[in-house]
């Protein structure tokens, strides 16, 4: 009960802002006499979205699974790499240049290769999503793990703590805000990468729906897909806020 | 009954013999600590004072085992020579800043050292909880450090140090950042705690009054390269109350020490890079 109220209180500005935007769009476009084939009205788009829900709902599900799957896989790899680099410092010198070189190319550029290796199904999208996430999680977590000053590390050493003890009791908790930042950016990057990859080759998913509808000059469906994708992103954002509260509990 | 002063000295709790710390190679070498000989008797409260930058903290790091002394000197704990790093985990060390972990409650900050030692969390908490009233922190167990005042944070850090039950405690200017009023309250409180728990204490400060008020012995360090200039045994009776600082005895000691410390402080100003 109290929790529901709290949620309402924090969610209402978002809802109000969205409602305002849609109203402005609906009546502004009509007032300015913009043709509907250039800018369809939100009401029309919503009607289309509802009518095409079996297609769009299914596509959203596929995209969300791919985006979350890629995010989880990429975050896990990034976290493991960061921890290894802290425990075995030479690894950082060895692996970091490789990671940076791979990251210098936008992850989207790897889509054709990944499609070739993993096919048109979900696996290729998860791989691309993961690729988009690894480095941002790795860098943010690594920076966080290095944040504790020498004094704090020395204090732990004076208590007789070893490397793992220092990592567990000092560096990891200190790195949580950094990790949360990495996860936030990572989830957004994973979602973008997955949708773009779907446009370049997929059996299903929001990106593929957009791609096909564009080919059929069905812009209402394109817009409906964009709406549905936005709703999905909003839900993901809610998940992130929850993660944030769990990982940085002391603020 | 034998007079305690005539009993032959027991093995010192901590002994430094010809301890040096040099940084860098010959022409550009910096000597931080030079030829320090110091011994501290069991149960004594020794204060160490010197101009800023005199190598006090370097000396402390070496005693804590965080930094190895140069090989020509040695460090003895209860008569046993300590090799590099052997001091880690053997003494309770409190750095200048409280270094409380913001993600831990006051209670869990206090138990940090116990947890590192592998004590189960519940047992560690029970042990710490018993000390809260004595440290003036009753009712604050579940607060986070950012909710506490500077004096309280320092008491939490001290409690963390005390709970790490080593009979030698190193305190590096623990009250340096506190206002004068809080500081004098903390000094009296520290003496009470010390009288009750009787551990050996080595306390760094740059405040002469503090050094005399707290110590059984005041050790004065020279300007860099730091070495021991003189030692002054303080015979003011214990327990000491705050009024002691205005007695002629206190003033006499202070006058004497002030002259020595001033002389060293002036050297740090006059110092010309060699």
User: Structure tokens of A144?
Assistant: 């966080």
Helix (H) or strand (E) holding B170: strand B168-172
Contact assignment for A158 to B102 by CB distance below 8 Å = no
Q: What is the pLDDT of residue B253?
A: 93
* In contact, B174 and B154? CB cutoff 8 Å: yes
Which residues, 6+ apart, have CB-to-CB distance to A36 below 8 Å? A44
Cβ burial, residue B39 (10 Å; 0-12/13-18/19+): middle
Name the maximum alpha-carbon separation found in chain A.
75
Q: Which residues of A touch B91 (CB under 8 A)?
A: 158
The alpha-carbon gap from B67 to the nearest alpha carbon of chain A, in Å, equals: 10
Grouped pLDDT means (10 residues each) for chain B, 274 residues: 50 90 85 90 92 82 89 88 84 90 95 94 94 90 93 91 91 86 87 89 92 94 85 90 89 91 78 55
B125/A119 Cα distance (integer angstroms): 55
User: For testing the chain B interface, which of A149, A159, A163, A176 should be mutated: the one with the most B CBs within 10 Å?
Assistant: A159
* In contact, A135 and A183? CB cutoff 8 Å: no
Residue spans per domain, chain B: 9-91+166-270, 99-165
3-state secondary structure of B23: strand
Q: What is the pLDDT of residue A3?
A: 63
A220/A226 Cα distance (integer angstroms): 10
In which residue ranges of chain A is pLDDT below 70? 1-4
DSSP state of B206: S
Contact assignment for A158 to B88 by CB distance below 8 Å = yes
Q: Which residues of A touch B117 (CB under 8 A)?
A: 159-160
**Domain A52-247, CATH class in plain words:** mainly alpha
Which of B89, B97, B144 is closest, CB to CB, to A151? Answer: B97
B164/B89 Cα distance (integer angstroms): 9
Residue whose pair of structure tokens reads 């600590």 in the numeric block: B33
Contact assignment for B66 to A152 by CB distance below 8 Å = no
Residue whose pair of structure tokens reads 């704990």 in the numeric block: B77
Classify domain B9-91+166-270 by CATH number. 3.40.50.300
Whether A150 and chain B come into contact, CB under 8 Å, resolves to no
A70/A68 Cα distance (integer angstroms): 5
Which of B66, B116, B117 is closest, CB to CB, to A154? Answer: B66
Which residues, 6+ apart, have CB-to-CB distance to B268 below 8 Å? B51, B52, B53, B54, B223, B224
* In contact, A133 and A189? CB cutoff 8 Å: yes
* In contact, B14 and B43? CB cutoff 8 Å: no
Tens-place pLDDT, residues B67-116: 888 888 888 998 888 887 788 888 998 888 899 999 999 999 999 999 99
B216/B234 Cα distance (integer angstroms): 5
Could you tell me where the beta strands, DSSP code E, fall in B26-167? 30-40, 45-49, 74-77, 80-81, 92-94
Neighbours of A25 (CB within 10 A): 17
Q: What is the pLDDT of residue A4?
A: 65
Contact assignment for B116 to A154 by CB distance below 8 Å = no
DSSP state of B10: P
Tens-place pLDDT, residues A208-233: 999 999 999 999 999 999 999 998 98
User: Structure tokens of A170?
Assistant: 């000092």
């Amino acid at each position: 009960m109290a929790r529901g109220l709290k949620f309402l209180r924090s969610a209402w500005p978002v809802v109000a802002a969205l409602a305002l935007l849609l109203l402005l769009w609906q009546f502004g476009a009509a007032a300015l006499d913009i043709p509907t084939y250039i800018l369809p009205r939100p009401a029309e788009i919503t009607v289309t979205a509802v009518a095409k829900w079996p297609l769009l709902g299914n596509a959203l599900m596929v995209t969300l699974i791919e985006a979350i799957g890629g995010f989880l896989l990429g975050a896990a790899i990034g976290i493991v790499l960061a921890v290894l680099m802290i425990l075995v410092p030479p690894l950082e010198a060895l692996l970091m240049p490789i990671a940076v070189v791979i990251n210098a190319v936008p992850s989207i550029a790897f889509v054709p290769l990944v499609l070739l290796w993993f096919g048109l199904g979900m696996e290729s999208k998860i791989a691309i999503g993961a690729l988009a996430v690894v480095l941002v999680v790795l860098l943010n977590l690594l920076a966080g793990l290095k944040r504790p000053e020498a004094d704090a590390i020395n204090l732990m050493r004076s208590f007789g703590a070893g490397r793992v003890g220092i990592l567990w009791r000092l560096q990891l908790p200190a790195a949580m805000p950094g990790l949360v930042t990495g996860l936030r950016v990572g989830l957004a990057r994973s979602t973008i990468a997955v949708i773009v990859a779907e446009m370049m080759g997929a059996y299903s998913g929001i990106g593929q729906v957009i791609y096909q509808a564009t080919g059929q000059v069905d812009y209402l469906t394109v817009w409906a897909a964009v709406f549905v994708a936005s709703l999905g992103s909003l839900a993901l954002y809610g998940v992130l806020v929850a993660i944030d509260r769990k990982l940085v509990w002391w603020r | 009954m034998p007079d305690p002063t005539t009993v032959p000295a027991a093995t010192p709790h901590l002994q430094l013999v010809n301890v040096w710390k040099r940084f860098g190679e010959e022409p550009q070498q910096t000597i931080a600590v030079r030829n320090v000989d110091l011994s501290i008797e069991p149960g004594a409260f020794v204060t160490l004072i010197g101009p800023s930058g005199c190598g006090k903290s370097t000396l402390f790091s070496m005693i804590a085992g965080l930094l190895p002394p140069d090989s020509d000197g040695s460090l003895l704990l209860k008569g046993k020579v300590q090799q590099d790093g052997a001091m880690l985990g053997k003494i309770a060390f409190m750095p200048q800043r409280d270094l409380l972990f913001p993600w831990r409650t006051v209670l869990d900050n206090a138990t940090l050292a116990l947890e590192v030692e592998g004590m189960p969390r519940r047992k560690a908490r029970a042990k710490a909880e018993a000390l809260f009233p004595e440290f003036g922190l009753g009712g604050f167990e579940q607060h986070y450090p950012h909710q506490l005042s500077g004096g309280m944070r320092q008491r939490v850090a001290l409690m963390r140090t005390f709970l790490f039950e080593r009979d030698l405690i190193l305190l590096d200017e623990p009250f340096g950042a506190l206002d004068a009023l809080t500081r004098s309250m903390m000094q009296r409180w520290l003496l009470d705690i010390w009288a009750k728990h009787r551990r050996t204490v080595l306390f760094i400060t740059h405040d002469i009054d503090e050094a005399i008020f707290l110590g059984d012995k005041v050790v004065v360090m020279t300007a860099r390269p730091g070495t021991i200039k003189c030692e002054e045994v303080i015979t003011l009776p214990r327990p000491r109350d705050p009024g002691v600082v205005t007695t002629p005895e206190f003033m006499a000691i202070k006058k004497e020490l002030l002259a020595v410390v001033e002389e060293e402080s002036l050297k740090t100003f006059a110092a010309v890079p060699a």
